[in-house]
Amino acid sequence: MPNDALGGGSRGPPTVAADGRLLTDGGTGNPDGNDGTDSTDDTDDSDRSAGDDADDRAHVERAIELSAAAVAEGNTPFGALLVVDGAVRVEAKNETVTSDDVTAHPELTLARRAARELDPDERAACTMYASTEPCPMCATANHYAGIGRVVFGVAGETLDELAGDVVTIPCAEVIRRADGTTVVEGPVAEDAAMAVHESFYGSP
């Protein structure tokens, strides 16, 4: 279970338990969700695939579980977590509906906490795992916070094809235009990430 403080497949619809856990292949996700109280190489290293890394996949899958838990709480399907030196430090779920705040994205929540509670070296060592590619607002927050790396489950452009109303400027492009150093990798576990979106928005 992650610390509360920062100091320390198939595309079928997912099954979500009553407590918000995403059930996959007969197993259960980690029930200890915390709502923020935790590519392909082209011309540079800022946009590459992380799909071959088992730890990356496991952390993205946890972010996907958080996205399903967000839906169970009445919000839209997005979740994220921060990892430093292999340890989950904090997680967050989307709260845009329940908090009546259109900016209450989990990635922005985590970037704010990292900026407040971690020193620059710790932030540079952070990886943010997100169920869906961070939007331009959240990508910019990651840049300003100095988060070292972002790994996401499904690309914004892919989600836009299903749900529409997505600002489809890639996270890596935002970082590049800002002359930033955050490494962006993904998609990872794309089918599982899309299954939650399809269950919420409807299959194409």
- Give catalytic residue positions: 107
The DSSP call for residue 62 is H
Contacts of 177 (CB under 8 A, 6+ apart): none
Q: Nearest 5°: CA angle at 22, between 70 and 33?
A: 55
Q: Which helix (H) or strand (E) holds 161?
A: helix 156-163
CA distance 131 to 59: 9
Q: Nearest 5°: CA angle at 124, between 159 and 186?
A: 25
Of 51, 81, 61, residue with least CA distance to 21: 61
